[in-house]
Amino acid sequence: MGKYDSTKTRVIPLFDYISSDKQKLNRMLSLINPEVKVDSSIISTAYGKNEKAIPPSPSLLKWCIRNFRSLNQKRNELSKEKSPETYKQREDLFSGNLDTINDAIKKIDENPKAQKKWYIFEGYTHPDIFIETNDCLLIGEAKRTENKITDETEWLKPRDQLIRHIDALIDNNNSTKNIFSFYLIDRKMESEYNMNRYKDYNYYEKSLPHRDKKEIEKIYQTYIGYTCWDTLEKVFGIDFPDTI
């Protein structure tokens, strides 16, 4: 990202402007999807240096253990010198050692929010934009000069970034609030990103191998669309900086 960092040149100026103003938020949402409107007050907004950290789905973590052959096992080589113990335990797992598999599942059950352990194959996820109101949660990803939508992790492919956010959220959210997901992108990258992918149920299935059809449908229905930075700049009269 460098000097064109989308967080610093786009997200922070936009959401510093919107702040807790529900009217401004609804104006932005109308550009993404005219059918979506927030009726209740904004409780909190997380972005920039204060991005929301969401633990991975425990069901995904356990799926990774039980389906270790689906993981990118070449990644383990990077831990060989840095953490020999982690390397050894993962090699035992990848060999199909039942004691190691059972131990990993037990550890996840005991502490599903653990980080950087040998049995953890997906870390916390950090959406660029997280907004909570009294009746909904809005999750947004911002892209500017990135040459592609992030659609994989170190250990899993495919594993779409936006879908991953929602997957993690529904396992770590005890409320019944509606969840909406969206993108803010640069118009020049519109065709490159192929945003129609988020209208394809099969695309969600591929990123959610641990979910049943009902759960996948729930995550699929969260997506409300996208809008472009130049539209936001014009509508709100914000002079976005070109570089940091």
Nearest to 190 by CA among 231, 160, 218: 231
Indicate whether 95 pLDDT > 90.
Answer: yes
Q: pTM score, two decimals?
A: 0.95
The residue with tokens 């959220």 is: 169
- The reported pLDDT for the residue numbered 155 is 97
- Compute the mean pLDDT over every residue in the chain, rounded to the nearest whole number: 96
- The reported pLDDT for the residue numbered 240 is 97
Q: What is the mean pLDDT of residues 204-233?
A: 98
- Rounded (10°) angle between helices 213-220 and 161-171: 120
Q: 3: alpha, beta or left, given left = phi > 0 and alpha = psi -120 to 50?
A: alpha
Percentage of the chain with pLDDT > 70?
Answer: 100
- Lowest average pLDDT, out of 54-68, 171-185, 209-223, 224-238, goes to 171-185
Whether 86 and 118 have beta carbons less than 8 Å apart is answered as: yes
The residue with tokens 């009746």 is: 135
Condensed to tens digits (0 to 9), the pLDDT of residues 122-143 reads 999 999 999 999 999 999 999 9
Q: What is the mean pLDDT of residues 53-65?
A: 97
Beta bridge partners of 138: 131, 180
- The reported pLDDT for the residue numbered 66 is 98
Query: Where residue 176 falls among pLDDT bands split at 50, 70, 90?
Result: confident
Q: What is the mean pLDDT of residues 91-100?
A: 98
Question: Which residue ranges make up each domain of the chain?
Answer: 2-55+124-236, 58-110
Indicate whether 82 pLDDT > 90.
Answer: no
- The reported pLDDT for the residue numbered 1 is 59
